[in-house]
Structure 1
C-alpha cells in the first residue's frame, strides 16, 4: 500500500514523533505457521530418527572401561626436597598437556609394543554392521568428486620440493620399516582413547572403548602404566641432557674464571699496583695517612693560634691595664702551675679590693695597702704572661711549619695516585669479572650436583589411582539416546527448512495479504474446478433449427435475435457448478461492477503477470454474466499471448486484430458458445504492430458502442497482464472498470503493492482482485482462527454437487 504524503507543517516539524509500537510476536500467526509446516518439521525428524535408530541397532556392542591417574601426587616433604618435585596444584594447562601426551603417537606405539595388539585379529578386524559400511561407502562415493578436486588443488598449489637422493633413500628405508598394520593399529588406539578430567581435581580418567571387554581393559591399563613410565623416563632423559650440558658448561666457566683471575694479576704486576690485604693500593693508603696527619696538624695549629690570641689580649694593656681592671682575669686551655698560682693571687687581691671599695669606699685605710699589693701582683703576672705568650708563639710557628710540609706531601701523593687511577679502575674491572665468573661456576656446580641427585631419584608426582577392570555390561550403542539425538537433529533440520520456507513466502494467499500490502479490494477466491467433459464439436446450425440453451437449473436462455454467429461446443465450467465457491466469487465481481454505477458495460480482466488462468477467469465470468436474459461479448485483446483464443480453439480464426487492420467487420468474426448467451471475438490472425496502438485508442470504444446496439448487455475484455508489457495498461486506460486476477501462491505481495501505486486513475477504476487456482485445503493452513475464509467449502462439495446433477 502506498504511503500517504502530507503537506509540510513547520509548526509540527520539531514536535516529538509518536513512539513506534513495540514489536511483539503474534503467537496466533506462529501457531498457524507451525501447523502449516508440520509436515516439513515432522517428516525430517521421523526419517532422521528412524535412520539413527537403524544405525544404533545395527551397530555392534561396545565395552568401555577406564583407569585413573593422579597428576599431582602427595609426596613427602623430604622426598620432594630430595627429588626436586613441585607440590603446587596443577593448572588446567598441565592437565591438557597430559591429555596431549596420552593421545600422542609415541604413547600409542609404546602400548602396541607392550600389548602386541597389531597381531591380534580381533583388534585389527573388529565386527562391523552392513548398514554402517553401506553408509560409509555411500558417503565416500558422494564426496569422491569433492575429495578429488581438493587433492588436485593441493597438488597444484603446493610447490615441489628439491629432494636429495641420499635423503630419498633414507626416507624409503624408514618407510619400509614402518608396518602398515602397525600404523592402522596406532590410529585405532588414538581414535578410541579418551582422556577426561575427574571433577575439579588434578586426576584424569583414561578410558577406552572396544567390542572386546578384555582388550578395552588391557589398553586402558597399558596407557596408565606407560604414562607413568614415560614421565619418569622423560624426567631422567631431560636431567641427563641437562647434566651433560652443565658439565660442559662447568669446564668452560672454570677456564674463564681462571683466565680472568690471571689477567687481573698480570695487569697489577705490569703496572706496579701493590694492594694491601684490605684491598686498597699502597699509594692510596699513603695518601689517606697523609690526609689524616694533615688534619691533625691543622687542628694543632688552630689551637695554638687560639692560645696565642688569648695571651695577646691579656698583655695588650700592660701592667696598667691589669692594675686598672675592675674584673678578674681568666686564661683558658692548659696553663702552667706557676701561671695558675699568679692568676689566682691576682684575682684574689682584685676581688678583695673591689669588695672593700664597694663596702667602705676609697677612703678606707686598707685601700692603699691593697692597691700596692695589686700593683706588685700585676707586675709579676704580666711577666709570666709574656713568657707564656712567647712559648705559644713558638708552638704556633712549629704547627704552621708542619702544615706546610704535610700539604706538600699530600700534593705529591695525590699526583702519584692520579697517575695510577686508570690502571686501578681497569684492575678493579678485571677482579670483578674474575669474581663473577667464580660465583657462576660455584652456583652451576651446586645445581649440577643437585640435578645428578635427582636423576637417580625413583619417585615422580604422578601415580595410578585405579586400574581398569574388565567390563561386564556393554556401554553402547545407546539406542534410545542415538535415536533421540537423531530425531532432534531431524526436527532441527525440519524447523530450519520450515523457517526458510516461511521466510521465502512472499506470495498472495489470503485476503489479509492483499489488504495489508495494497489499497486494492479483495473480491474472493477462485478454486480449481473439477474437469468438465467437453462435448463433441458440431458445425454452425441455422437459427431456425437451433435449440434454445438450457441452464443447469432448467431455465431456457433466449436466442440472439440479430446476431447469428457460428457456434462451437465448449463447456463453461462455472455453469456446471452454480453453487460453488467459484460461482459465488464471480457473483461478487458482478455485484462490485454494478455497485460502481457506471453505464459503460465494459469490464476488463487482467493479471499482475503473464498467467493462463486469467483467460479462464474471463471466460467463466462472461458465462456467469450471460445467465438469464443477458448476452455477453467476450473479447480476446491479448495479441501477444492469445491464451483465450487457443483455449477455445479459435487461434486460427479472424478476429479483433484483423478488424483493426481493416480485414473485415468485427461482427462477422464472432463465434458463439453453444447453450449459452456468450459470444466470443477472437484475437485474430494479424500479427502487425499498429493493431496494438489502435486497440488502446478508438477500437474498444467503437466495439462497446456497437455492442450495446447489438443486444449485448455486457462486454468482457481479456486484457494483457500489467507486467512486463505496456499494452495491458494502455487498454485499461480505455476501460471504465477492470478486475485483476492473481495466481494464488505465485503472485508476490510486492507486485500487488506496486502494480497500481503510481497510477491513481487505474487504481480508482479497479474493482478488486480475485485469487485463481486456490487450493482450499491448503488455504486453511494460512488462515488465522476466526477469519471468514475458514467457512469456504472444500473440493468435496464439488464432487457431491456433480454426483447430484448427474444422478449418480
Structure 2
C-alpha cells in the first residue's frame, strides 16, 4: 500500500483520532481525580564495620560493609522489623501490610542504604519510615554483636531522618493530561488505520478504476434533496452531470453509445436518481431522450416521477399494449418516459424475450439516447439481460458503500452475458468546497436550464 493511501485513510478517519485523543485526555483527568495520592518519605542509613589498622584491612572492611548493605536491605523489609515498627507506632495494620509499604534500596558501590515508606497520609509515611529505620539499626546491632559480648562487628547509622513529603508520587495533572493526549492520538491513529485497512469499500475514483478495470466517466456528489425531488437541482449537480454527459458523448469515437443501461452491484447505490438526471442532462443539450424503467420488479421510476404505470414496459413486452400507448411524453423537459408497468410473474423471461430486443431497436430509431434504469446486478439477472441488448452500461459504485468484491462481481456478471461496460460512475461522493454563483445555493425545486439558447424547466414533472 502506498503512503498516499495511508494518508487518505487518516484523512477519512480524522474524527476517530480526535475522539480517541479527547478520551485520552479525559482518562488522564479521571485518573488524577479519582486515584488516591500516595506520599513517600525516605531515610538514608550508613553501614559501618570496625576499622582496620592498615590500608589493606580498611579496604577489606569497606568491601564487607558493601556486602552488608544488601543484607540489611533484606532485613529492612523483614517481618520482624515490620512487627517491631507496628508495635512501636501502635498502628491498626499488620506486619505484612507495613512490609508492602516499605522499600529498601542499596546505593551501588557505596555503603549507603535508602529506606522509603509510602502512604496516602504524608505524616504516616514519615512515621513509618523513621520507625522502620530505627528498628532496623537496633536489630542490626543485636545481630552483629557476639553472644560473648563486646562491640558489634558492623552497624547501621541513620544519616538522614525522613521528612514529611510535600508532593505526592507520580505525574501531576498537566503531565497526566499530556500523556493521555499522546496515548489517545497514538491509539486513534492505530484504530483509524485498522478501520481503513479492514474497510473494503470503494473510497475514491482511482480505486474504482483500479478494481473495475474500466475508466471512471464521472462522479456524482451527495445530494441531500434526493430522492425527495424528482430531478436533481442543476445549480448543484449540473457540473458533474454535464461532465458525465460529455464523457459519454466521446465514447466509441464517431459512434457514441445511444442505448445505455444504468446499473450497480447492490441496491441503494443511486441507479434511479442517476438514470433520471442523466436523461435530463442529455435532453438539456437538445437531444430527444427516452427514459425506460427496466426494473419491472419494483417500478421505482414511476413513483419518483409521480406518473401512472397501468401501461408500461411489462405490458408492451407481453403484447397487451403498443409502445406508443405506454410511453408518456415530456415528463421531464425533453424526456419521454416508459414506466415499468404492472409487475409481471416472469420478469426475467419478458426482458430476455425477442420482444425486448425488437423494442430497443425500435426506440433507437426514434430517440437520440435511450437511458434504461435496471435492477442491481448481484440481486437478479434483469440488469445483465438488458445490458446485453443495449450498447453498454454505466456501472455505479457508491463511495464508502460498494465493496471491491461487489464491484468486481458486477463487472464479471456483465462480461458473462456479453454486456459492454462503458465505464464506472462513482456516486455519493463527499462534497468538496467550490464556488457557486449568488442565488444558486440551496435546494431549487424547478431550476431553469438552457437548451440550445432557450430556457426550460429540467424538473417539470408531468402528471399521468
Q: Smaller-chain TM-score range?
A: 0.7 to 0.9
Contact 2:388 2:418 in 1 (8 A): no
CA distance in 2: counterparts of 1:489 and 1:218, whole angstroms: 38
CA distance in 2: counterparts of 1:200 and 1:678, whole angstroms: 95
Partner of 1:473: 166
Q: CA deviation at 1:738?
A: 0.8
Instruction: Work out the number of aligned pairs and report it.
Output: 438
Summarize the alignment of residues 313-352 of structure 1 with structure 2, pairs less than 5 Å apart: none
- Which whole-Å deviations, capped at 9, do the CAs of 1:708-764 have from their partners, x for residues lacking one? 45x322211112222243333233222221101110111223433454358657788
Partner of 2:316: 659
Q: CA deviation at 1:688?
A: 0.9
| 1:520–1:488 CA distance, 2 compared to 1 (3 A) | same
Asked which structure has the greater CA Rg, the reply is 1
Partner of 1:515: 209
CA distance in 2: counterparts of 1:221 and 1:232, whole angstroms: 17
Partner of 1:572: 231
TM-score scaled by length of structure 1: 0.47
Gaps spanning 5+ residues in structure 1: where? Answer: 1-22, 81-85, 119-181, 237-451, 535-569, 778-792
Partner of 1:773: 428
SS in 2 for 1:208: strand
SS in 1 for 2:43: strand
Does residue 647 of structure 1 match 2:286?
A: no
- Which whole-Å deviations, capped at 9, do the CAs of 1:169-228 have from their partners, x for residues lacking one? xxxxxxxxxxxxx46x964x4665444453565755332344543322111122333445
Does residue 494 of structure 1 match 2:188?
A: yes
Mean alpha-carbon deviation: is it higher for 491-500 or for 460-469?
460-469
Which has more strand, going by share of residues?
2
CA distance in 1: counterparts of 2:102 and 2:329, whole angstroms: 86
SS in 2 for 1:87: helix
| 1:700–1:491 CA distance, 2 compared to 1 (3 A) | same
TM-score scaled by length of structure 2: 0.77
CA distance in 2: counterparts of 1:57 and 1:513, whole angstroms: 48
Q: Pick from 114, 131, 134: which aligns with 1:225?
A: 134
Q: Pick from 24, 29, 48: which aligns with 2:24?
A: 48
Contact 1:651 1:685 in 2 (8 A): no
Partner of 1:730: 385
Contact 2:49 2:155 in 1 (8 A): no
Partner of 2:64: 87
| 1:754–1:628 CA distance, 2 compared to 1 (3 A) | closer
Partner of 1:394: none
- Which whole-Å deviations, capped at 9, do the CAs of 1:96-149 have from their partners, x for residues lacking one? x956x756777655433221232xxxxxxxxxxxxxxxxxxxxxxxxxxxxxxx
SS in 2 for 1:577: helix
Contact 2:331 2:337 in 1 (8 A): no
Contact 1:49 1:487 in 2 (8 A): yes
Partner of 1:117: 91
Contact 2:264 2:410 in 1 (8 A): no
CA distance in 2: counterparts of 1:685 and 1:197, whole angstroms: 93
Q: Pick from 777, 781, 797: which aligns with 2:436?
A: 797
CA distance in 1: counterparts of 2:122 and 2:207, whole angstroms: 64
Summarize the alignment of residues 197-212 of structure 1 with structure 2, pairs less than 5 Å apart: 198-199=107-108, 204-212=113-121
Does residue 587 of structure 1 match 2:242?
A: no
Summarize the alignment of residues 87-236 of structure 1 with structure 2, pairs less than 5 Å apart: 87=64, 98=73, 108-118=82-92, 182=93, 187=97, 189=98, 192-196=101-105, 198-199=107-108, 204-227=113-136
CA distance in 1: counterparts of 2:136 and 2:5, whole angstroms: 61
| 1:470–1:98 CA distance, 2 compared to 1 (3 A) | closer
Summarize the alignment of residues 18-57 of structure 1 with structure 2, pairs less than 5 Å apart: 26=3, 28-53=4-29, 55-56=31-32
Contact 1:530 1:798 in 2 (8 A): no
Q: Pick from 285, 289, 293: which aligns with 1:636?
A: 293
| 1:502–1:77 CA distance, 2 compared to 1 (3 A) | farther
Q: CA deviation at 1:591?
A: 2.2
CA distance in 2: counterparts of 1:799 and 1:457, whole angstroms: 106
CA distance in 2: counterparts of 1:753 and 1:91, whole angstroms: 76
- Which whole-Å deviations, capped at 9, do the CAs of 1:569-600 have from their partners, x for residues lacking one? x74215x32773332343244324464725x6
Partner of 1:145: none
| 1:212–1:602 CA distance, 2 compared to 1 (3 A) | same
Contact 1:526 1:581 in 2 (8 A): no
Does residue 712 of structure 1 match 2:370?
A: no
Partner of 1:676: 333
CA distance in 2: counterparts of 1:492 and 1:195, whole angstroms: 37
| 1:804–1:225 CA distance, 2 compared to 1 (3 A) | closer
| 1:42–1:230 CA distance, 2 compared to 1 (3 A) | farther
CA distance in 2: counterparts of 1:462 and 1:762, whole angstroms: 98
CA distance in 2: counterparts of 1:696 and 1:462, whole angstroms: 105
CA distance in 1: counterparts of 2:442 and 2:332, whole angstroms: 21
Contact 2:384 2:413 in 1 (8 A): no
CA distance in 2: counterparts of 1:106 and 1:693, whole angstroms: 95
CA distance in 1: counterparts of 2:183 and 2:382, whole angstroms: 52
Contact 1:524 1:588 in 2 (8 A): no
CA distance in 1: counterparts of 2:407 and 2:111, whole angstroms: 68
CA distance in 1: counterparts of 2:26 and 2:231, whole angstroms: 50
Partner of 1:67: 43
Q: CA deviation at 1:522?
A: 0.9
| 1:686–1:571 CA distance, 2 compared to 1 (3 A) | closer
CA distance in 2: counterparts of 1:190 and 1:651, whole angstroms: 88
| 1:652–1:674 CA distance, 2 compared to 1 (3 A) | closer
| 1:216–1:682 CA distance, 2 compared to 1 (3 A) | same
Gaps spanning 5+ residues in structure 2: where? Answer: 58-62, 448-464
Summarize the alignment of residues 518-533 of structure 1 with structure 2, pairs less than 5 Å apart: 518-529=212-223, 531=225
| 1:804–1:616 CA distance, 2 compared to 1 (3 A) | closer
The Cα RMSD (Å) is 4.3
Contact 2:29 2:176 in 1 (8 A): yes
| 1:117–1:49 CA distance, 2 compared to 1 (3 A) | same
- Which whole-Å deviations, capped at 9, do the CAs of 1:513-547 have from their partners, x for residues lacking one? 1233342111121012353897xxxxxxxxxxxxx
Contact 2:265 2:409 in 1 (8 A): no
